[in-house]
Amino acid sequence: MKKSNLIVLMLLAAFTINARHSLGANAYEIKVQITGVKDSMCYLANYFGDKQYIQDSIAANANGQFTFKGEEKLPGGIYLIVMPEKRYFEVIVDEDQTFEMKTKYDDPINSMQVTGSDDNTEFYQYLRFVAQKGKEVEPLKVKYESSADENEKEKLKEQINVIDKEVIQYRQKYIAKSPDKLLSQLFKITMEVEIPEAPLNPDGSKDSTFAYKYYKEHFFDNMNLKDNRLVRTPVFHPKIEQYMTKLTPQIPDSIIVSADHIIGQLDPKSENFKYVIWWVTNHYETSKYMGMDAVFVHMAKNYYQPEIAYWVDEAQLFKIQDRAKVLEPILLGKQVKNLSLIDTSGVYQSLYNVKKPYTILYFWDPDCGHCKKVTPLVKQLYEKEKGRGVEVFAVCTEVEMDKWRAYIKENNLEWINVADPDLKNNFRYEFDITSTPQIFLLDKEKKIIAKKIEVETLENILEKELEKGKL
């Protein structure tokens, strides 16, 4: 029995997921009877990426009978019939869209009877087969884990392997019989990549990275990325996520290469294409790790164009492009734009005139509660490191000069203090200052080493940089 609390009523940003193909009389009609359910709302939901979405709903009658039907054919995929208490069972929806299912609330898999859908008849035969094999293998695994006798463990392992092979053979036989069916595509995805023996290097040693490189290169060999049904199954998203986050080093350049590799294999008119572009963009835009905005900028510039992201409206495209326009000049490694602002005496001070090896570019506001906690920490770090080539260029984001000067004097902030009282500078937009405080660490060429970090992180990074400079 499966239980789920993941049924959600929301849309993925910027595109509609419930695209259907109008076929008039060939609409869907799924008749269901569930013994043990009566006078209760039931739902037809579908997987889409890493979530599930309500597709249809209806109340079961006193006999547990209800019918989902519509005038448009459902996109192929794995759907869920959700019962009271969020219990559910899965349904294959593909070519057969008019069929009947009868089962019991307490045991939907073993009690399932299907009429009019070979896909679901075969699907539930498989589920029952796997459940039976699971019952057979579980006690063997328990004995294996508890046994201290190596001979016994070897025999148990052989028995477990025999059962595992029976499941594999079942899948292989089905794939050979019905290679294009959705269930076959799901079986193929479960097949592990077979890694050959590593070739020898010229010196006779083995390449220790061969297995990883081969596995990553062949990761999608058993997955048809152009099959538009897969995004509506529970296996599509985990494969994409595994490739992007587990097999790919989490540095922007590597992530970008992997994203382009996947997207290049997708049908540009498919839901798979839309989903992968959306997920990669959203995942790395919202990442808590510094520097991942470079992935967002790449995705925005290369994919969120009218001729490519045809499902995104003009207003949303503009927002995405504008966001990328702001972020691109302040990506890690980029040289920031010069700032020329007045100090407390009304004299202009230039960021580029700071000749120290490291500059802490600090955006703050004397009225900001968080700034009042952070500024003393920055001062403490500055006092510790100013003799080792560190300067602070502190930019006040507000325009109340008397309050600014008073705070500087009261707190003995003896670094470079500047402000823009006449709002002649556009630094708030150019440096993406939507809140304060904000800290950037720059090298001697004013290239960004780190940005939007806490003082503790700044101190750790700065210490590493200073130690590196000794080498």
| Mean pLDDT for the stretch of residues 299-306 | 96
Percent of the chain with pLDDT over 70: 94
Least confident stretch, 10-14, 129-133, 303-307: 10-14
Digit-coded pLDDT (tens) for 43-99: 999 999 999 999 999 999 999 999 999 999 999 999 999 999 999 999 999 999 999
Digit-coded pLDDT (tens) for 320-342: 999 999 999 999 999 999 999 99
Q: What is the pTM of this model?
A: 0.87
- Single out the residue of 448, 468, 451, 465 nearest to residue 333, CA to CA: 448
CA pair distance 365, 4, nearest whole angstrom = 47
Least confident stretch, 2-11, 162-171, 327-336, 344-353: 2-11
Kindly list the strands in the beta sheet with 41-48, ordered across the sheet, starting from the edge strand earlier in the chain: 2-3, 87-93, 77-82, 41-48, 51-59, 7-8
- Single out the residue of 298, 336, 347, 367 nearest to residue 452, CA to CA: 336
Task: Pull the structure tokens for residue 243.
Answer: 């490739």
**2-116 CATH:** 2.60.40.10
Digit-coded pLDDT (tens) for 88-109: 999 999 999 999 999 999 999 9
* Residue for token pair 């004299």: 347
**Residue 6 clears pLDDT 80, i.e. is over it:** no
pLDDT, position 139: 95
**Residue 430 clears pLDDT 70, i.e. is over it:** yes
Least confident stretch, 5-9, 201-205, 300-304, 349-353: 5-9
| Mean pLDDT for the stretch of residues 449-469 | 93
What's the pLDDT band for 470 if we cut at 50, 70, 90?
low
What's the pLDDT band for 12 if we cut at 50, 70, 90?
very low
What's the pLDDT band for 290 if we cut at 50, 70, 90?
very high
Asked whether 361 and 439 are in contact (CB, 8 A), the reply is yes
Task: Pull the structure tokens for residue 219.
Answer: 């990761």
CATH domain 340-470 topology: Glutaredoxin (3.40.30)
> Residue 66 pairs with which residues in a beta bridge?
32
Kindly list the strands in the beta sheet with 98-104, ordered across the sheet, starting from the edge strand earlier in the chain: 65-69, 29-35, 98-104, 113-115
pLDDT, position 27: 86
pLDDT, position 469: 67
Q: Domain residue spans in the chain?
A: 2-116, 125-190, 210-330, 340-470
CA pair distance 256, 260, nearest whole angstrom = 6
pLDDT, position 9: 28
**Residue 232 clears pLDDT 80, i.e. is over it:** yes
Query: How many Cα atoms within 13 Å fall on the side-chain side of residue 68?
Result: 26
Cβ–Cβ contacts within 10 Å for residue 13, how many? 11
**Residue 15 clears pLDDT 70, i.e. is over it:** no
**Residue 5 clears pLDDT 70, i.e. is over it:** no
Digit-coded pLDDT (tens) for 114-150: 999 999 999 999 999 999 999 999 999 999 999 999 9
**Residue 306 clears pLDDT 90, i.e. is over it:** yes
Amino acid letter for position 408: I
Q: What average pLDDT does the chain have?
A: 92
**Residue 10 clears pLDDT 70, i.e. is over it:** no
Digit-coded pLDDT (tens) for 182-231: 999 999 999 989 999 999 888 889 889 999 999 999 999 999 999 999 99
pLDDT, position 17: 39
- Maximum Cα interatomic distance, the chain, rounded to a whole number of Å: 86
Query: How many Cα atoms within 13 Å fall on the side-chain side of residue 138?
Result: 6
